[in-house]
Structure 1
C-alpha cells in the first residue's frame, strides 16, 4: 500500500514522540491500516483523530513494509455524542473491538459497512434499543469474519431449524427448545432477534450480549480480558442502570 486515498473510520490513536500520533483507521478498500500523523497531538488535529470519526485519509509509504505517513481531514465528527455516557461507551467499544481484533490490511467489506451503520445508529437512533441490537449483531458478524462464527441455522442435536432457543457453549451451534430442555442450565440463551427480523425487548438484548460476549472472550480475548473487555462491561453496566 504505497499510496491510498479513502474515507475511513478512526478506530484507535496512540501518542508517538513529542508531537505525533499513530492512528489505526478502518477503510473499505484496505481494511485496518496504521499510519503516522505528523502533528497528531496538535490542537488542530486532535479533534479529527477521535475514535469513531469519519475522515478522508491519505496514506503514503515508500515501501509496503514501511509505516505509512497519514494525513486526515474531517468528514463527520461524532464528538458531540461523547458527552452522553451510554453513547460514548458504545462508540468506544465498537471501535476498540475493531482495532483490537482485525489483522491489519485484510479487507472486510461487510464489517466496514456494518460498523459504519452501527456508529450512525448509536448517534441517531431514537433510543438505545435501536443501536444495542446492531451492536450484538456486529459482534456476531465480527466473530464469523474472523473464523469463529456460530452456527445458528439448525439444531445441533436434531437438525431441525424450528424453535431454536439455545446455543451450546462447546460446539457454538444452536439447540432447539425441546432438545435442550434437560440441559438448559448448561446452554446459553439464543434470543430470536439474532436469527430472525424481530424487535427484541431489553431482556433479549442482554441475553444477546451474554451470548456474543462468551464467544468473544473465549475466542479472541482469553489472554487480555481485563484491558479490552472492560469497555464492553462498562457499556452493558450503563444499559442495565438505565433499566433499573
Structure 2
C-alpha cells in the first residue's frame, strides 16, 4: 500500500511512526482497529483527510454514525438516516468519546465508544470505509486501482468473520 500510494523516495516521518506502532500492535487484540487508524493516517498524509469528530450536517457529534462518501466527513444518526443507504458506516472505535454531563445519574450514562477499541465487525466497517476512500480518492487514476494485496486482505478478513 505504501509503495503504491506514496511518492518515491519520500518517507513521511509521522507515517513511519504510525507504521511502527502498527507493527507493535499486531500482537494485541486491537490490531485491526490500529490498522484502520493507520490507513486513515495514510489518507491524511496524502491530502485526503477524513473529518470524523463532528457532523457535516450540524448534528450532534455524540451520535455520529456515518461518513459521507463525497466529502469524507462524519454524519450524525439523525442527519444521515434518510441517506443511510448512500453513506458509509462509521465504526464505533472511530467515534469521538464524549463525557456525560456532570448532572447525569449513574444509570443514565451511556457506554463510552471510541478510544481505539473495536471488535471484528467494527474493524470490517473500518476497512470498508478506508478501502472506499483509497479506491475513489487515492487510486482513482491508477490503472490497477487499489493494490491487490489490500483488496485480498479485506476479503479474507471478511471471510474470517463468517
> Do both proteins adopt the same fold according to a TM-score greater than 0.5, normalized to the shorter chain?
yes
1:167 corresponding residue in structure 2:
67
* 1:134-160 CA-partner distances (Å, limit 9, x unpaired): 111111001011110011121111153
Greater helix fraction, Structure 1 or Structure 2: 2
Normalised TM-score (structure 2): 0.79
Cα deviation, residue 207, structure 1: 0.5
Larger Rg: 1
Map 1:1-244 → 2, pairs under 5 A: 97-122=1-26, 125-126=27-28, 129-158=29-58, 160-195=60-95, 196-224=114-142, 226=144, 228-244=146-162
Is the contact between residue 55 and residue 64 of structure 2 (CA under 8 Å) also seen in structure 1? yes
Change (3 A) 1:159 1:178: closer
Flag structure 2 segments of 5+ consecutive residues without an equivalent.
96-113
Flag structure 1 segments of 5+ consecutive residues without an equivalent.
1-96
Cα deviation, residue 227, structure 1: 6.3
What SS is found at the alignment partner of 1:215? helix
Cα deviation, residue 214, structure 1: 0.5
Normalised TM-score (structure 1): 0.54
Is the contact between residue 66 and residue 84 of structure 2 (CA under 8 Å) also seen in structure 1? yes
What SS is found at the alignment partner of 2:81? helix
Change (3 A) 1:144 1:157: same
* RMSD (Å), alpha carbons: 1.9
Instruction: Count residues with an aligned counterpart.
Output: 144
Is the contact between residue 217 and residue 225 of structure 1 (CA under 8 Å) also seen in structure 2? no
